[in-house]
Amino acid sequence: MGTEAVRVAVIGAGRMGRVHVSALSGSRNAEPVAVVDPVAEAREQAAAGGLAAYASLEELLSAGGFDAVLVAAPSDLHLSLVRELAAARVPMLCEKPCGMSADEARAAARAAEETGTLLQIGYWRRFVPELVSLRERIARGDLGEIALVASHQWDRFPPSPEFRAHSGGIAVDMAVHELDQVRWLLGQEIESVVAMAAGRSEPGHAPSDPDAAVALARLSGGTTANITLGRRFGQADSCWIEVFGSEAYERCTFMWAADSERAFLAGLTAQADAFAEAVRGGSLAGAAPEDAVAALSAAERIAEALEQAEESELAGRSA
């Protein structure tokens, strides 16, 4: 492939797919050319923006006119889409979590590997300049020995019930970002977790899908990660991380208030640039399939802990 922009088709033109179309439009070496979505309104909106629009992946594959895809369909469709795309040998960037469980992520990784197809995972925070620089300082030892990191993701509003039904719960949907972030920042694996829901959630929520939760993870290098997740922050979607080292403390607030959307879009565009490089034959700079497996494996343990915490609370109340 020459130096022409890599033509990307976005599978799933919902909330995230539309942000990806904008991010791809700002890329230096990739461009959005098509969307796939079964919902006519989503296709009409994409077509009005000059993109080709298809109702199914099969239609896209037979029409052609693209070099790679970005999977932004509901998480419970990631594995089947990755399998179909791998069979067609289409390079892909799949949104997190890349399956609903570590087993599904493993199966996705296998499908890509068996056909030699590029599969990058959409952990976009790996492309946030402030986090890249923090990671370098940690690796150099500037912060000394890291006892504790506190990693926070507080969303403005909860997602729709429809989204929640296909998301796998707060750990599989939200905590995976923090889990990937701490693994990548510190170069440590997650060994054990404890977790509990925080505050009150809407009646009828699944035990593994409260509106807020806290998880503590013990990492392989001795660091403890305190992960807080919230879905009713009221102000813009916000993310920040604090690192407590023996030599220094750092707080990196990379998504906050009025700057939140800009930072998100910039991270996604940088991720798209790196993906396009990999599609052209460069090495994979973002998260790999095994990173999806690691994040989901820890997320599953957080989900189990949330379920157990709710069971013992209910048992305590009825005793």
Ligand X SMILES: NC(=O)c1ccc[n+]([C@@H]2O[C@H](COP(=O)([O-])OP(=O)(O)OC[C@H]3O[C@@H](n4cnc5c(N)ncnc54)[C@H](O)[C@@H]3O)[C@@H](O)[C@H]2O)c1
- The minimum distance between CB 118 and ligand X, in angstroms, equals 18
Q: Does the footprint of ligand X cover residue 207 (CB under 6 A)?
A: no
Q: Does the footprint of ligand X cover residue 99 (CB under 6 A)?
A: no
DSSP secondary structure letter of residue 74? -
Distance CA(38)–CA(303), nearest Å, equals 30
Distance CA(10)–CA(283), nearest Å, equals 22
Question: CB within 8 A of 293, min separation 6: which ones?
Answer: 102, 105, 106, 109
Q: Does the footprint of ligand X cover residue 124 (CB under 6 A)?
A: yes
With CB under 6 A as the contact rule, the residue among 9, 17, 238, 270 that binds ligand X is: 17
**Applying CB under 6 A, which part among 9-17, 111-119, 189-197, 272-280 lies near ligand X?**
9-17
With CB under 6 A as the contact rule, the residue among 38, 187, 199, 221 that binds ligand X is: 38
Per-residue tokens: 316: 């305590």
User: Three-state SS for 54?
Assistant: strand
The residue at minimum Cβ distance from ligand X is 14
Q: Does the footprint of ligand X cover residue 66 (CB under 6 A)?
A: no
Q: Which of 313, 319, 271, 300 is nearest to 95 (CA)?
A: 271
- The minimum distance between CB 42 and ligand X, in angstroms, equals 5
Per-residue tokens: 296: 């989901």
Question: CB within 8 A of 221, min separation 6: which ones?
Answer: 146, 186, 187, 188
Q: Does the footprint of ligand X cover residue 11 (CB under 6 A)?
A: yes
Q: Does the footprint of ligand X cover residue 96 (CB under 6 A)?
A: yes
Distance CA(188)–CA(182), nearest Å, equals 8
Distance CA(87)–CA(76), nearest Å, equals 19
Distance CA(308)–CA(127), nearest Å, equals 35
- The minimum distance between CB 38 and ligand X, in angstroms, equals 5
Q: Does the footprint of ligand X cover residue 36 (CB under 6 A)?
A: yes
With CB under 6 A as the contact rule, the residue among 23, 30, 34, 42 that binds ligand X is: 42
Q: 184 and 128 in contact (C-beta within 8 Å)? A: no
97 burial level (CB within 10 Å; 0-12, 13-18, 19+): buried
- The minimum distance between CB 258 and ligand X, in angstroms, equals 19
- The mark string for 228-257 relative to ligand X (x by CB under 6 A, - otherwise) is ------------------------------
- The minimum distance between CB 219 and ligand X, in angstroms, equals 22
With CB under 6 A as the contact rule, the residue among 5, 25, 77, 280 that binds ligand X is: 77
Q: Which is nearer to ligand X, 5 or 77 (CB)?
A: 77
Q: Does the footprint of ligand X cover residue 74 (CB under 6 A)?
A: yes
Give the interface with ligand X as residue ranges (CB under 6 A): 11-17, 36-39, 42, 72-75, 77, 95-96, 122, 124, 163, 173
